[in-house]
Every structure is written in C-alpha cells, then in structure tokens.
Structure 1
Amino acid sequence: MKLNKATVVRRYGQALFGLAEEQQQRTKLLAELTELKTLLTDNPDLISFLLSKQIGYQEKKSVLDIIIKAASPLTANLLQMLFDYNRIEDLSAIIDEYIRLNDKYEKTVHAKVTTAIALDDAQKEKLAASFARVVGAKKVILEDQVDPDVIGGVVLKSNNYIFDGSLRFKLAKIKRLLLK
C-alpha cells in the first residue's frame, strides 16, 4: 500500500525528531536542517536534478555524496534513505515537519502581525510577549507586515489564532450594527 505524502512527511519528521532528541542533537540538527532548507531554496534545480530520469544514478549519487560529506550522521542518513527510497522530493516538507515539531517542543509560535505603520523593535517585543501570554507560548516569532488598509491597530495571525484589533475591523463592525 502506497502512503500519501502527508503521512510520509509526518512519519519521517517524527522519527527524525525522536532520534535527534534521543541523541541530544535536537538544536544542532535544527540548525543543520535550516541550512539545508536554505540550500534547497537557493538551488531549486537540485531536487529536480536528483529526480530526473534523464540523469544516471552515478551522477545523482556523486552530487548527493558532496552534500552528505558535509552533513552530520543523522542528516546524512536521512538524505541517503530518502534518495534510496525515491522520496528525496519530500525532503523540504520533512524539514518543515521537523521544525514544526521542534517549535511545539520549545513552545514557540510563529505569528504574522499586520499594522498600518512599521513597528519598532520595542513595540514588536511587547506585542510578542503579550501574544505569548495569550497563546501559552514561551516564545513568539513575529513576521511583520505593513498594510495601510488596516488604518490603525494590529492584526495578529498564527496557526490557530486570529486577533483583529484593527481600526478597519472595528469600523466594519460598527457599520454592520448600524445597518441592522
């Protein structure tokens, strides 16, 4: 029975995270996988090369060996296994799953904050601390974005939480009440 991609990614991610934790390599592996993800993003043709039917096994293997040579044993084993089982195209998603599991372990939340004007560092810190208390996180990593349509206030979005404290939202709410 062939497994769907989501199942494969989840299983590999969990297995990798479990091994890293068992070997006390969790943060080191996180840094290495983040670097590998950057390599994949900067070189989108790398996975295409490794998947290509027109390129021979030895050529693919020699390129993979260059990457493996610079990797830790855990990452090297992951890369080799994915290559051997023709699952190398899932590498980026497996890295994302590892990062998600690590964030859950560390109680880190990623959130997108949208404001009408740019926030300074002190405002971001205060907002992150407040949001961390609301969602029960130890750390909040904010990705800020400026949108003049917000008019004023803040819109915060994370995986399962949306807080819209924008002036635009409040005006729309008043308008709905007046039209009733």
Structure 2
Amino acid sequence: MALSSAEIASRYGQALFDVAESKDITSQTATELVELQTVITEQPDLLVFFASPQITKEAKNEMLQSMQTNASQLVKDFLQMLSDYGRLQNVIDIIDEFNRLNDEKNGTVRVKVTTAIELDDEQKAKLSAKFAQVVGANKVVLEPVVDEEIIGGVVLRSRDNIYDGSVKSKIDKIKRLLLN
C-alpha cells in the first residue's frame, strides 16, 4: 500500500526533527532547510528533474551532490535518503512538517496577515505582540500579504485560527442581515 504525501511528510519530517533534536541542532537544521526550500521554490523544475525517468541516475546524483555542497552532515544524509527512496518530490512537505514541529517545540506561531495596505515595522510589531498574547505563543512570525479587496482592517490566519477583522467581512455580514 502506497503512502500518501501527508503520511510521507509526517513520518520523514518527524524522523528528521527527532534526529536534529537528539543532536541539539534543530535551529541550525531549520535554517538549512529554509535555504533548501527557497532554492527548490525558486527552481521548481528541480523536482521534475529528480522525478524524471529520462534523467540518468548519474546525472541525478551529480545534481544532488551540488545541492549538498555546503550542507551539514544531517541535511546531506537526509537528501541522500530521500533520493535513495525516491522521495525527493516530497521534500517541501517534509520541510514544512519539520518546521511545524520546530515551531511547536519553540512556541512559535506563523501567521499570514492580510491587510489592504502595507504595514510598517511598528504596526507589525504591535500586531505580532498582541496575537502572541491572544494565542499564548512565545513568538509570532508574520507573513504579510496586501489585498486591497478587504478594503480595510486585518485578516490573521494561522494553522489553527482565523481572525477576520476586515471591513469587507463586516460589510458582507451587514448585507446578509439586511437580506434576511
């Protein structure tokens, strides 16, 4: 029975996190994985390259070695294992799972913040501090998104919560009340 992408991400992400934690290098590993994720995101054909049956194993190994040049031994071993088991196409999901586990351990919450205009640093800091208070987090990492369609206000989306304080949602609520 084949494993789903979610199962693969969960198992491999948990295993990688456990090894990094046992070696007390979760922070370093997380930093390396963010860099790896950035490279893969910027070069989406990279995963197609590794998945392609037309590409020789030697060419894939050469590419993998070039990706491992400045990596720690743990990340090198991780990438080699994914290659050996044909799981490189799942690397982004596995990194996301590792990051989720690392965030959970550190009390960090990642929040997508949608506003109609770009927030300045002071606004981001206040929003981050207030949201950390509300959800009981040690740290809040904001991912700002500008969407003029919300008109005003703010929409906060974390893994577990959505707080919609946008003007658009308030107008929509008034419309629904008037139509009933």
TM-score (norm 1): 0.90
Counterparts of 1:99 and 1:57, CA distance in 2: 30
Counterpart for residue 150 of structure 1: 150
Q: 1:55 to 1:103 in 2, by over 3 A?
A: same
Instruction: Name 1:82's counterpart in structure 2.
Output: 82
Supply the distance in 1 between the matched residues of 2:69 and 2:148 (Cα, whole angstroms). 49
CA drift at 1:114:
2.3
Q: Deviations over 1:12-31 (max 9, x none)?
A: 00000000000011000011
One-letter amino acid of the structure 2 residue matched with residue 8 of structure 1: I
Single out whichever of 117-126 and 22-31 deviates more from structure 2. 117-126
Find the counterpart in structure 1 of residue 117 from structure 2.
117
Cα gap change, 1:89/1:145 in structure 2, threshold over 3 Å: closer, same or farther?
Answer: closer
SS of aligned partner of 1:114 = strand
- Structure with the greater alpha carbon radius of gyration: 1
Matched position secondary structure for 2:118: coil
Alignment-mate amino acid for residue 7 of structure 1: E
Q: Report matched runs for 1:64-83 at 5 Å.
A: 64-83=64-83
CA distance in 1, matches of 2:149, 2:2: 47
Shift of 1:122: 0.8
Aligned partner of 1:58 in structure 2 is 58
| Offset at residue 129 of structure 1 (A) | 0.7
- Residue by residue, what CA displacement relative to the aligned partner does 1:49-71 show, whole Å, maximum 9, x if unpaired? 22221222222222222223432
1:163 partner SS:
strand
What is the aligned partner in structure 2 of residue 166 from structure 1? Answer: 166
Number of paired residues?
A: 180
Counterpart amino acid of residue 173 in structure 1: K
How far apart are 1:178 and its partner, in Å?
A: 4.1
What are the equivalent positions in structure 2 for 1:33-48 lying under 5 Å apart? 33-48=33-48
Give the superposition deviation at 1:92. 1.6
Aligned to 2:9: 9
Structure 1 spans left out of the alignment, 5+ residues:
none
1:105 corresponding residue in structure 2: 105
1:76/1:126 CA distance change after superposition, 3 Å: same
Pick closer, same or farther for the CA change 1:25–1:54 going to 2, 3 Å. same
Distance 1:169 1:54 in 2: 50
How far the C-alpha of 1:116 sits from its partner, in A, is 2.9
Per-residue deviation, 1:37:
0.9
**What percent of counterpart residues are identical?**
51
Cα distance, 1:78 vs structure 2 = 0.8
Local SS of the residue matching 2:68: helix
CA apart distance, 1:157: 1.7
Deviation at 1:161, TM superposition (A): 1.1
Query: How big is the shift at 1:179?
Result: 4.2
**Structure 1 residues 77 and 154, CA, compared in 2 at 3 Å: closer, same or farther?**
same
